[in-house]
Amino acid sequence: MREIEHERDIEELRKVARLLERANGKLARENARLRAKLAGDHPRILELELRFAQEQLVARNRALFGPSSEKRSRSGAQDSSHREPQTGHGPQEQPELPIVEEIHELDEADQMCPKCGGALSEMAGQHEEADEIDVIERSYRIVRRKRKKYRCRCGECVETALGGPPKLIAGGRYSVDFAIHVAIAKYADHLPLARQVKQMARAELRVTSQTLWDQLVALEAHLEPTVDALHAHVLEAPVVGADETSWRVMGKGKSKSWWAWAVTREDAISYRILPTRSSDAARAVLTAYGGTVLCDGYSAYTALEKALANARDGPRIALAHCWAHVRRKFVEAEPHYPEAAEALTRIGELYGVEREVREASASGVTLAHRQALRRERSKPIVQALYRWMLEQRALPRSALGKAIAYTASCWGGLTRFLDDPLIPLDNNATERGMRAVAVGRKNHYGSRSLHGTRVAASFYSLIESAKMVGAEPAAYLREATHRALRQPGTVTLPSDLLSQ
């Protein structure tokens, strides 16, 4: 069987090699044709065409066999021979783990000196210690709550004692902690419900995926006011980050592409999962927001900015664009166009200034000082980069041409940080928040209903916001849920717990 599979793998590799050889041959012939024409008219244009053909050839090879990374080698271009040094794999400190001591004694037969035959006596307080990390297996239990009943001699009154914590579902069998455990496993650890069912079965708990889903729905219903308040809290910030990524909604035998939108501020992130990626969807996410939106160059944000600007009344937004996206474009161009290293050097200098800005902010300096530092140090760098772009000659469809065109199209938003000290240089905080959605999408493929998109967006918002402020997600969900059960409608943001 293994020999058959091995032969199939070899045959597949041969097919790929033949396809690659044909594509390389075609590009090589194109290179030869362009080289032959270089002696004729328009040598500069033909030289650009030749470089573009070489770029396509290298890009095709890298797409098939090369690594994918935004990191640059020491020489500038991607270098597969360079390897980052590995970090150590030694033991790490575990200050949060409880310590359970086990005392080991010599067997009675061994408590005798092998030299003289005398009895060994214990050395008080002397031990040879060795730590071992152990695991306590997950377990489930049934808590049987018996509420005593009381009656009067007259026979007219019977009372039952109160007892037990409030439940998500009246008369339900599962505790709040159980529902939180399921939510954390799915939306923080990205375990599909079917996989959780199998894990629970190994711990002797028989349950179905539908039962687990019912717990998630009940938990989200109690936390819905907090989710809505969290979204409003994000939109109260003068500057928010915005981003979007694909999300699958699976109906009866069909699968549709929806979009998970995120908006962030320094202490919270809020998600909405919507059917489209249009400017109307962006408007629904940003609702009545009036401030600065930090984003990439996606046209939906530009269209929304223009639509709000043309409206007779209502809030306005201003777009600030992300320098990390610009850097990515030039990193892609650098292997084929070494001159792109100049742009990357300038962008690196901008980030160097931002490190000084963060250090100044940590020292408690005013926003005016941060703005002055950017105007004094960052503005000349930005101006030099713009002059460099004007001097470049590249085909519009080449990687360098696309990088320059993208940067130019976003120039107004890219330079807005020079006048507003609240605007970050990039939107990486929002992109980091999208990782959880991307991993969840890969593991459990998306949602099965419109209600499922709401539940997923709610738990991602709560869990990722807790992480942003350093709160433990399960502890936060537990506190927020118990408050909502004691007083329905109570709102508990992650930042509220840290301020107490």
Q: Where are the domains of the chain?
A: 2-58, 240-431
The pLDDT score that the predictor gives to residue 51 is 65
Residues in Cβ contact with 325 at an 8 Å cutoff, skipping those fewer than 6 apart:
296, 297, 406, 410, 426, 427
Q: From 85, 57, 43, select the one nearest 335 (Cα to Cα).
A: 57
Which long-range CB contacts under 8 A does 31-35 form with residues at least 24 apart?
31/57
Q: Please give the model's pTM, rounded to 2 decimal places.
A: 0.81
Q: For the chain, give the percent of residues with pLDDT over 70.
A: 81
CB 252 within 8 A of CB 449: no
The pLDDT score that the predictor gives to residue 58 is 66
The pLDDT score that the predictor gives to residue 78 is 44
Tell me, what amino acid is at 442? Answer: K
All residue ranges of the chain with pLDDT < 50 are 1-2, 39, 41, 75-82
Query: CA-CA distance, 315 to 21, in Å (whole number)?
Result: 57
Task: Give the bridge partners for 246, in sequence order.
Answer: 259
Task: Give the bridge partners for 247, in sequence order.
Answer: 258
**Beta 239-250 vs 291-295: how paired, if at all?**
parallel
For residue range 175-222, list pLDDT tens digits in order.
999 999 999 999 999 999 999 999 999 999 999 999 999 999 999 999
Q: From 298, 346, 301, select the one nearest 319 (Cα to Cα).
A: 301
Task: Give the bridge partners for 215, in sequence order.
Answer: none
Matching residue, tokens 């045959």: 11
**Beta 268-274 vs 158-160: how paired, if at all?**
unpaired
Instruction: Provide the H-helix boundaries in 166-208.
Output: 176-187, 193-202
